[in-house]
């Protein structure tokens, strides 16, 4: 029953529709769609199949539509609009339907509407599109679309024209006059005699009678039966499984063709958009949000509890820029402006040491040009700020004088030699070596004029002269006071001279010591090195070595005498013993050329050998390597002297440095003094006074106060006292030797100017 009713409605609908040719294709499509929806509600599925069947023809146009939709928003909108208003159209239609049918249907419809809006529901969509499509089908084969509509009154209730003579207007605007009603009888007769009369339906819109064709009536009949309206549609078509795994499809996705909905705008989306549009129109939505104002506020409102600086590690504030001086003024006082030649000089300078800023003078303020380096300088400042490592430097703005250590005043350290009163003249060549007699009454000197002289200290009188035939390199007085033997080294010979200064019995002793009638038989290894011989000419002993002797040193007991030769290995140093008339090689190997040797003044058998670089301390009684090695940081050692106490050593070097070693403190220098610009030729300790001296090729001699304390934990006190000048340098040589007077605080210096000077306190 309901079915019939609905069908009737549908029928009527359709008819109306088909008669009235309204503009848009779509609108035409939809009405039967609605009918379809009602009629074929039950088998959704079949419907689906159907529209799937029917789809193919219409694809193209939809595609285009879909594109435009997805792309630009404008036609999106427009399209939305007409979809919108035919949506409303449909609503009105439904409205009619509601009028037409009972509420239940209307309800259904409402549901549909609502569902359509809120959720994308496959069925609903499907159905909707469904009828659109089959309309299209209908469209395609309905013939009467081509016929122009006759009545143009549009969609108004026809009953308005009931009491009119015309029922509307044709396209040209002429009234369409009604046919005059024929009375019942005639109509009846017409029906009677006309067999096809039952097919005739009165169309009051166009006010004419329409005769249904056969197939039309068939269709109607089918519909009445509730079958599919089309004859050739079979509802039970075999199910096509688009999504089969049997076939060689590797993709899990379905090969199903794109569903339609992908191409048509979604209504709910459109609704949202329209909401926005409205909002925009109302101005509730703004596109460019306003330029936000930089808001400033009281940043340092409370300076309390600000320990942020504490968090990151020590912050070094950037140094301030140096404030400008007078010279930067635009109008400096004239003395600040460099003269022309100075400017020229600047030009000649290198880029970096050229002054950064050259003062200029402008007579008036307005004549000052723009400073060309302004940007550059600020840029450099920036670079400094973020690229330069900042370090806190302690600024010492003190008088540099205050850096000088407080030396104990020299007055307190007296006596020390400071002025020269006596000169010992007589040598004709540079004086190479000095030696003081123990009592301090005489000194001996050897010179390049091949002579050795003995001088009386107090008067400066030359007592004795020995002439040799070789340059005297070294003289050394026997340390014993009652044993006045002078050892003279010249070339390869070492001559022991009798100075005949002692008393008679001493003389006797010396003489029989010095005449060696029976030459000592030496160990063959030693014999290769030295030979003893009697020296008749000078009445002494001559010991000839295999190499030139560079230095000789007496043992403090006066019996042993060590000579240094310019030779490495074991043969560089030999020790002679006077009483036994014997010569021994050292039982040890020397690395490098020996320069100086020293017998330790106090400890027995301790023997120091200085090679070019460093100093080794040997113990002659045990026969092994050095018991101590002193690293002097020096390039070439030239001389050394040991403190009479025996535990302090000074070393002079060819680069003019002097090292003080504390032997039992460490093997490194306790103090290094760079006092001479040229080679140090000799260093000397005083035997009793706390004095030491160094003399150098720069023809000066330094006198130092060097006090050694008894307790170990007090460092020696070293104070430079005096620079002794007076010698004149001859051919690059200055002072060649210096010795202290054994008892007085006096210093003897032997100059290359062939003078020996005595500096007294």
Partner 1 sequence: MPKHYRPAGKKKEGNAARYMTRSQALKSLQVNLNLFRRLCIVKGIFPREPKKKVKGNHHTYYHVKDIAFLQHEPLLEKFREIKTYQKKVLKAKSKKNEELARLLLTRQPTYKLDRLIRERYPTFPDALRDLDDCLTMVHLFAVLPASDREKLEVKRVHNCRRLSHEWQAYVSRTHSLRKVFVSVKGIYYQAEVEGQKITWLTPHAIQQVFTNDVDFSVLLTFLEFYETLLAFTNFKLYHSLNVKYPPILDSRLEALAADLYALSRYIDASSRGMTVEPKVDSSSSSQSNDREESELRLAQLQHQLPSSEPGALMHLVADNNEEVEEDEETRACKSLFKDLKFFLSREVPRESLLFVLPAFGGMVSWEGEGAPFKEDDECITHHIIDKPSAGHMYLSREYVQPQWIYDSVNARIILPTEKYLVGRIPPPHLSPFVDNEAEGYVPDYAETIKRLQAAARNEVLPLPGVGAGDLEDPQNLLYAGVMSRTEEAEAARNKKKMATLEKQYHEELKMEITGTSADDLPVEEEGEEGEEEDPEAAIKQVANDEDTRSKLSMSNKKRKLYEAMKMGLEKKNEGVKLIEERKRKLKKAQQ
Partner 2 sequence: MDVEGEDASKVVHVKFVTKLDSPFKVPVTSVVIPSNLTRLGLSSIVNSLLTLENPEPFDFLIDGELIRMSLEEFLQAKGISAERTLEIEYIRAVAPRREEKPSLHDDWVSAVDGSSHRLILTGCYDGLGRVWSSAGYCTHILEGHSGAISSVALVNTEDAGSVTVATASKDRSLRLFKVDTDEPVDSTTKVGAYKILRGHKAAVQSVAAQKYGSMVCSSSWDCTINLWNTDQSTSEGDSVSTKKRKGNNQAAESQTEAEAESTFVGHTQCVSSVVWPEHDVIYSASWDHSVRRWDVDTGKETLNLYSGKALNTLDVGGEGSALVAAGGSDPVLRVWDPRKPGTSAPVFQFSSHASWISACKWHKSSWYHLLSASYDGKIMLWDLRTAWPLSIIDTHKDKVLSADWWKGDSVVSGGADSNLRISSGISIS
Task: Give min distance, CB of 433 to partner 1, in A.
Answer: 27
Task: Give min distance, CB of 750 to partner 2, in A.
Answer: 20
Residue 604 binding: pick among partner 2, partner 1, none (C-beta 5-8 Å cut-off by kind):
none
Phi-psi category of residue 569: left, alpha or beta, with phi > 0 → left and psi -120 to 50 → alpha:
left
Task: Give min distance, CB of 579 to partner 2, in A.
Answer: 23
Residue 300 binding: pick among partner 1, partner 2, none (C-beta 5-8 Å cut-off by kind):
partner 1
**Are the C-beta atoms of 231 and 222 separated by less than 8 Å?**
yes
Give the separation between CA 194 and CA 576, rounded to whole angstroms: 176
Q: Is 185 in the site for partner 1 (CB under 8 A)?
A: no
Site for partner 2 in 697-756 (CB under 8 A): 743-744, 746
62 or 76, CB closer to partner 1? 76
Site for partner 1 in 723-742 (CB under 8 A): 723
**CA 69, 70, 75: angle at the middle one, nearest 5?**
35
Judged by CB under 8 A, how many residues of this single chain contact partner 1?
A: 86
Give the separation between CA 276 and CA 278, rounded to whole angstroms: 5
Give the separation between CA 75 and CA 70, rounded to whole angstroms: 10
**Are the C-beta atoms of 493 and 544 separated by less than 8 Å?**
yes
Tokens 């439904």 belong to residue: 94
399 or 469, CB closer to partner 1? 399
All residues at 6 or more sequence positions from 351 whose CB lies less than 8 Å from its CB, including other chains? none
**Are the C-beta atoms of 464 and 540 separated by less than 8 Å?**
no
Q: Is 459 in the site for partner 2 (CB under 8 A)?
A: yes
23 or 310, CB closer to partner 1? 310
Among 188, 242, 243, 421, binds partner 2 (CB under 8 A): 421
Q: Is 362 in the site for partner 1 (CB under 8 A)?
A: yes
Judging by beta carbons within 10 Å of its beta carbon (0-12, 13-18, 19+), is residue 103 exposed, middle or buried?
exposed
Site for partner 2 in 470-509 (CB under 8 A): 503
Q: Is 239 in the site for partner 1 (CB under 8 A)?
A: no
458 or 569, CB closer to partner 2? 458
**Are the C-beta atoms of 584 and 561 separated by less than 8 Å?**
no
DSSP 569: B
Q: Is 312 in the site for partner 1 (CB under 8 A)?
A: yes
- Residue 105 in tokens: 């249907």
72 or 107, CB closer to partner 1? 72
Q: Decide: helix, strand or coil at residue 698.
A: coil
Binding region for partner 2 (CB under 8 A) out of 72-80, 309-317, 394-402, 413-421: 413-421
Peptide bond into 415 cis (omega under 30): yes
**Order of strands, sheet of 493-498, starting from the edge strand that comes earlier in the sequence:** 472-477, 485-490, 493-498, 540-545, 530-535
**Are the C-beta atoms of 455 and 435 separated by less than 8 Å?**
no
Binding region for partner 1 (CB under 8 A) out of 204-212, 231-239, 312-320, 535-543: 312-320
Residue 27 binding: pick among partner 2, partner 1, none (C-beta 5-8 Å cut-off by kind):
none
Give the separation between CA 486 and CA 705, rounded to whole angstroms: 30
Task: Give min distance, CB of 486 to partner 2, in A.
Answer: 17
Task: Give min distance, CB of 750 to partner 1, in A.
Answer: 22
Among 458, 511, 569, 664, binds partner 2 (CB under 8 A): 458
Among 78, 140, 333, 419, binds partner 1 (CB under 8 A): 333
Residue 601 binding: pick among partner 2, partner 1, none (C-beta 5-8 Å cut-off by kind):
none
Q: Is 415 in the site for partner 2 (CB under 8 A)?
A: yes
487 or 673, CB closer to partner 1? 673
- Residue 440 in tokens: 């301090």
**Closest alpha carbon to 493 in 549, 451, 410, 567:** 549
Task: Give min distance, CB of 373 to partner 1, in A.
Answer: 8
Among 143, 339, 579, 713, binds partner 1 (CB under 8 A): 339
CA pseudo-torsion sign 420, 423, 429, 431: negative
Residues in the chain: 761
Residue 329 binding: pick among partner 2, partner 1, none (C-beta 5-8 Å cut-off by kind):
partner 1
81 or 421, CB closer to partner 2? 421
Among 251, 286, 320, 395, binds partner 1 (CB under 8 A): 320
Q: Decide: helix, strand or coil at residue 81.
A: helix
CA pseudo-torsion sign 301, 303, 307, 309: positive
Site for partner 1 in 666-725 (CB under 8 A): 673-675, 702, 718-723
Among 279, 280, 285, 407, binds partner 1 (CB under 8 A): 407
Site for partner 1 in 245-274 (CB under 8 A): none
Residue 459 binding: pick among partner 1, partner 2, none (C-beta 5-8 Å cut-off by kind):
partner 2
Q: Is 460 in the site for partner 2 (CB under 8 A)?
A: yes
Q: Is 404 in the site for partner 1 (CB under 8 A)?
A: yes
Phi-psi category of residue 155: left, alpha or beta, with phi > 0 → left and psi -120 to 50 → alpha:
beta
**CA 364, 366, 368: angle at the middle one, nearest 5?**
85
Site for partner 2 in 431-450 (CB under 8 A): 439-441
**Partner residues linked to 695 by β-bridges:** 682, 701
Binding site for partner 2 (CB under 8 A): 414-415, 419, 421-422, 439-441, 458-461, 503, 743-744, 746, 760-761
């Amino acid at each position: 029953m309901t079915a019939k009713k609905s069908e009737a409605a549908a029928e009527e609908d359709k008819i109306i529709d088909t008669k009235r040719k309204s503009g848009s294709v779509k609108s035409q499509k939809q009405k039967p769609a609605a009918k379809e929806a009602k009629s074929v509600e039950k088998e959704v599925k079949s419907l689906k199949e159907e529209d799937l069947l029917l789809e193919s023809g219409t694809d193209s146009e939809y595609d285009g539509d879909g594109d435009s939709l997805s792309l630009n928003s404008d036609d999106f909108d427009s399209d939305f609009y007409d979809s919108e208003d035919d949506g409303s159209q449909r609503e009105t239609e439904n409205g009619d339907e509601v009028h037409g049918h009972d509420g239940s249907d209307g309800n259904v419809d409402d549901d549909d509407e609502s569902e359509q809006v809120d959720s994308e529901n496959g069925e609903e969509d499907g159905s909707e599109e469904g009828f659109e499509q089959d309309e299209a089908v209908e469209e395609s084969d309905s013939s009467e679309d081509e016929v122009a509509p006759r009545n143009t009154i549009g969609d108004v209730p026809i009953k308005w024209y009931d009491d009119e003579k015309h029922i509307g207007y044709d396209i040209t605007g002429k009234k369409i006059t009604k046919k005059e009603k024929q009375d019942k009888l005639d109509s009846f007769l017409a029906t009677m005699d006309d067999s096809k009369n039952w097919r005739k339906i009165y169309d009051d819109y166009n006010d004419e009678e329409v005769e249904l064709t056969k197939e039309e009536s068939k269709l109607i009949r089918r519909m009445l039966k509730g079958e599919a309206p089309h004859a050739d549609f079979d509802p039970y078509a075999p199910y096509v499984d688009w999504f089969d795994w049997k076939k060689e499809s590797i993709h899990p996705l379905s090969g199903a063709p794109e569903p339609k909905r992908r191409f048509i705008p979604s209504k709910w989306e459109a609704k949202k958009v329209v909401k926005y549009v409205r909002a925009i129109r109302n101005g509730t939505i703004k596109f460019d949000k306003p330029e936000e104002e930089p808001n400033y506020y009281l940043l340092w409102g409370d300076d309390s509890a600000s320990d942020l600086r504490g968090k990151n590690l020590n912050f070094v504030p950037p140094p301030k820029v140096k404030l400008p001086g007078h010279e930067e003024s635009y109008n400096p006082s004239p003395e600040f402006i460099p003269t022309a030649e100075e400017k020229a000089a600047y030009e000649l300078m290198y880029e970096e040491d050229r002054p950064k800023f050259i003062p200029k003078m402008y007579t008036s303020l307005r004549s000052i040009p723009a400073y060309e380096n302004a940007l550059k300088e600020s840029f450099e400042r920036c670079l400094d700020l973020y690229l330069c490592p900042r370090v806190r430097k302690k600024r010492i703005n003190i008088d540099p004088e205050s850096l000088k250590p407080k030396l104990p005043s020299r007055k307190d350290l007296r006596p020390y030699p400071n002025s020269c009163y006596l000169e010992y003249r007589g040598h004709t060549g540079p004086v190479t070596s000095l030696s003081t007699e123990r009592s301090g009454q005489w000194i001996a000197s050897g010179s390049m004029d091949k002579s050795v002289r003995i001088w009386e200290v107090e008067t400066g009188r030359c007592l004795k002269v020995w002439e040799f035939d070789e340059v005297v390199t070294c003289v050394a007085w026997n340390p014993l006071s009652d044993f006045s033997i002078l050892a003279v080294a010249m070339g390869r010979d070492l001559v022991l001279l009798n100075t005949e200064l002692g008393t008679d019995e001493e003389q006797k002793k010396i003489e029989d010591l010095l005449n060696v009638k029976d030459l000592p038989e030496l160990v063959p290894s030693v014999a290769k090195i030295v030979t003893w011989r009697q020296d008749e000419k000078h009445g002494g002993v001559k010991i000839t070595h295999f190499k030139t002797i560079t230095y000789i040193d007496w043992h403090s007991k006066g019996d042993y005498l060590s000579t240094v030769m310019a030779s490495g290995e074991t043969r560089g140093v030999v020790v002679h013993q006077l009483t036994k008339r014997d010569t021994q090689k050292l039982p040890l190997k020397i690395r490098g050329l020996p320069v100086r040797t020293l017998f330790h003044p106090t400890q027995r058998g301790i023997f120091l050998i200085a090679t070019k670089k460093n100093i080794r301390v040997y113990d002659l009684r045990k026969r092994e390597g050095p018991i101590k090695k002193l690293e002097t940081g020096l390039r070439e050692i030239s001389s050394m002297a040991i403190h009479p106490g025996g535990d302090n050593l000074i070393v002079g070097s060819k680069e003019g440095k002097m090292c003080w070693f504390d032997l039992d403190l460490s093997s490194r220098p306790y103090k290094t003094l760079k006092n001479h610009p040229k080679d140090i030729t000799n260093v000397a300790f005083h035997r009793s006074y706390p004095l030491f001296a160094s003399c150098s090729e720069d023809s000066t001699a330094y006198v130092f106060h060097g006090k050694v304390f008894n307790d170990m934990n007090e460092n020696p006190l070293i104070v430079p006292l005096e620079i002794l000048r007076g010698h004149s340098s001859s051919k690059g040589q200055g002072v060649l030797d210096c010795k202290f007077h054994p008892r007085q605080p006096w210093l003897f210096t032997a100059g290359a100017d062939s003078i020996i000077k005595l500096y007294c306190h």
